[in-house]
Structures are given as structure tokens and as C-alpha cells.
Amino acid sequence: MEIVVVDGRDAEVFRRFYEVKFGVRQELEFPVGLGTEEARVLMSGEHADVRAEGLGLVDGDTWLGVAWLDWWLVGNTDTVDVELAVAPEYRRQGVASRLLEAAIAKARADGRRIVSGANLAGDPVTGESPGTAFAAARGFEQKHAELHQVVELPVAVSERPVDGYEIVQWREHTPDEWLKQFLELLNGMSEDVPTGDRTDAPIQWTPELLQDAEARRVAQGRFTYTTAAVHTASGELAAYTQMGGTPETPDRLNQYDTYVRRSHRGHGLGIAVKAPNLRAIQAGVGHPAVLHTWNAPENTPMIAVNTKLGFRPVAQRTMWERVL
Ligand SMILES: CC(C)(COP(=O)(O)OP(=O)(O)OC[C@H]1O[C@@H](n2cnc3c(N)ncnc32)[C@H](O)[C@@H]1OP(=O)(O)O)[C@@H](O)C(=O)NCCC(=O)NCCS
């Protein structure tokens, strides 16, 4: 049995890795996760914000388990994020433990201080799963939890415009006229999104980072819908929301960021941007799909907005850290 490092450019090795990594996601009532092409682009190319690496525990031709490592290059540069997946027939045999040991050795060699991970499949109320039992047994501490909500599209959307604000929408690239202000909102999102007790260094967004993120999404085959609200009197970009997906996994769409600038909160701009974005994406996609979102349970305004839009809770995602 040996640990292999996955080269995303090696088609056969990547296929075996992906089969285990995303195979386990099919155990979820509402599967989530990257499509093959989305994952392959992340793991085989160079990116401004992250280096993605794969490990496999392999016995001859058998792949028992894998680890996906995200080495953050901006923000949490002290942390490596590790996601483990073990093929069902090889569980409780120490496979994940061996992969974790290999990841920790790499993290130490790279000078990282923290190993973090997320468990997606937690019970919606208790958050518990085999993954949380594993994390607790291997010295990780729970730092945060997020409620996973879904809504089946299409839904009837009732828009709630707010006086004094106009809606603007764009797709894969931020228009030049909004670029500077959009970077301010991305920074605000990175600073303000609730992260519980997680180690969290906010990202300082630059035009280059945004360009890299947008180009990568296109290379991954993803589509993105952005709706923003502009304060008409001042011309200030006050709020935005983003949703997206990929034709590779047509049955699911994701809600990404939603952010209201601090000075514009309390006017209902969250739902004012979400509703038209939802309308646009469901019209654009044109077939039924499940829209997924994750929010901290303490983020009551966001969860209230989602509930109004028809979302319901299905699971809990918990985030864990171990200091090396
Ligand atoms: C969580 C997961 C990776 C564990 O893999 P594994 O190879 O079975 O884990 P190990 O055999 O190394 O387990 C180490 C310890 O973790 C704990 N543990 C692991 N699975 C457990 C379970 N189902 N119930 C209770 N404890 C469990 C035990 O303490 C175990 O030691 P023991 O078997 O001597 O009692 C695997 O169940 C899996 O792939 N699940 C689906 C994907 C997932 O949830 N990944 C976690 C996201 S990072």
C-alpha cells in the first residue's frame, strides 16, 4: 500500500482519484461538489489564490481513499485544508488516518500551522456524521457550523425592489465600470461573513485575483449570474449576490456570496438582489434543478431571506481545525 501524489494532468490517475473523492458525495441526500472538469482545472492548473493537490492511498490497482488538499496562497496562508474520502468498503481500517498523517507531514514541511477540514454530511440538527466522529478522534476541534438549505427550482419569485436603488446584472465578467467598487464589496464579504471560531484571515481582493477567479470559472465550464444594487443618488454599489453552476452537473446550482455594504444594511437589499438573480438563473438554465446554500445558523437575516424564497434545511456542515 502506498501514498501517491495525484497529478491533475494525468488523465487516468485523476479519474481514479475523482471516482473516490466525489463518489462519497453520492451518499448525501442532496449531493454537492465539483464536477470532473471543475475539479480537474483546479488540480491541474496554476491559480493566484490556491494550490490544489491530491493524495491517494493505493494498493496495486485499488484506490482505497483520497485526500484533497487546498494550500491557500492568499488569506489563510497558515492553513492547509484537507478533505478526506474513503471508499465505503475500506472504512474503519485506518485509511483516512494514514492519509491524514501524510497530509500533516506535508503541512509541517510547508511550514503550515493549522490543518482544517469540513464535514458536509452532518445531521441537520446535531451536525453529527462519521466524518465528525473521525475528526474528533483525530484531535480536531469544531470551530464553526453552517446550515445547508436547498430549494427545488423553478419557484415563483416575488421581487421586492427597494426605493432609491437600481438593479444591475452581469454574467461571467465584472463590467469595468463596477470593478473598483465590486472589489470593495468582495473585501467586505471576506471580512464580515460569519466564520465562528475559525482561523480566518480576510482576503484583500485585487483586480488580478478577481480576473484569475473569473477566468478559472470559465475554464471550469461554470456559469455565474450576478445581481447588484446601485444606490441611485450616490452611484454606490451597495449589495450583490452570485449564483452559478455547470452543465456537467445540471441538477444542481449553487448560491455563492450575498453581501450588503455596511452603510446600506437594514433596507431589505438582501432579498432585493437575490430575487432577480434567482429569476435570471432559473430562466437562463431553463430546467428543474436544486439550488444549494450554506449559512451560519447565527446568520439569521440571511436564513430568513432564504426561507422566504422557499429554501429548507437538509444538513449541517461543520468546520474543524487542528493546530500542529
Ligand atoms: C470520515 C471518513 C473519511 C473516515 O474514514 P476511515 O478510513 O473509515 O477512518 P479511520 O478508519 O482512519 O478512522 C479513525 C477513527 O475515526 C473514528 N471513526 C471513523 N469513522 C467512524 C464512524 N463511522 N463512527 C464512529 N467513529 C468513527 C474512530 O475513532 C476511528 O478509529 P477506530 O476505527 O479505531 O474506532 C469516511 O467515513 C468517509 O469517507 N466518509 C464520507 C466522506 C466524509 O464524510 N469525509 C469527511 C470530510 S473531510
Q: Which residues line ligand 1 (CB under 6 A)?
A: 24, 65, 83-86, 91-97, 117, 119, 121, 129-131, 133-134, 137
Torsional sign, CA 293, 299, 305, 307:
positive
Residue nearest to atom 36 of ligand 1 (CA): 86
Residue nearest to atom 42 of ligand 1 (CA): 85
For the chain, the domains span 2-112, 153-315
Query: What is the 120 CA–ligand 1 centroid distance (Å)?
Result: 14
Topology agreement, domain 2-112 and domain 153-315: yes
Express each pLDDT in 229-280 by its tens digit.
Answer: 999 999 999 999 999 999 999 999 999 999 999 999 999 999 999 999 999 9
| Confidence tier at 123 by pLDDT (50, 70, 90) | confident
Torsional sign, CA 129, 131, 137, 142:
negative
pLDDT higher than 90, residue 180: yes
Alpha helices in the chain (DSSP H): 11-23, 36-44, 95-109, 130-137, 176-192, 207-219, 269-285, 300-309
Q: How far apart are CA 142 and CA 138, in angstroms?
A: 12
What is the DSSP track for 83-96? Answer: EEEE-GGGTTSSHH
pLDDT higher than 90, residue 51: yes
Query: What is the 35 CA–ligand 1 centroid distance (Å)?
Result: 24
2-112: CATH architecture = 3-Layer(aba) Sandwich (3.40)
Cβ 168 vs Cβ 222: under 8 Å? no
Express each pLDDT in 10-31 by its tens digit.
Answer: 999 999 999 999 999 888 888 8
User: What is the pTM (predicted TM-score) of this model?
Assistant: 0.93
Nearest atom, ligand 1, residue 100 CA: 12
Which of the following CATH numbers is that of domain 153-315: 3.20.20.80, 3.30.70.960, 2.60.40.10, 3.40.630.30?
Answer: 3.40.630.30
Q: How far apart are CA 239 and CA 259, in angstroms?
A: 5
Give the percent of the chain with pLDDT over 90. Answer: 87
Check residue 31 and give its pLDDT: 87
Check residue 309 and give its pLDDT: 86
Instruction: Outline where DSSP puts E strands in 48-92.
Output: 50-59, 62-72, 79-86
Check residue 323 and give its pLDDT: 98
pLDDT higher than 90, residue 301: no
Alpha-carbon separation of residue 130 from 80, 92, 135, 137, 141 (angstroms): 21, 10, 9, 10, 15
Query: What is the 131 CA–ligand 1 centroid distance (Å)?
Result: 6
Query: What is the 14 CA–ligand 1 centroid distance (Å)?
Result: 23
Query: What is the 65 CA–ligand 1 centroid distance (Å)?
Result: 11
Express each pLDDT in 137-146 by its tens digit.
Answer: 999 999 999 9
Q: How far apart are CA 320 and CA 179, in angstroms?
A: 34
Express each pLDDT in 309-321 by its tens digit.
Answer: 899 999 999 999 9
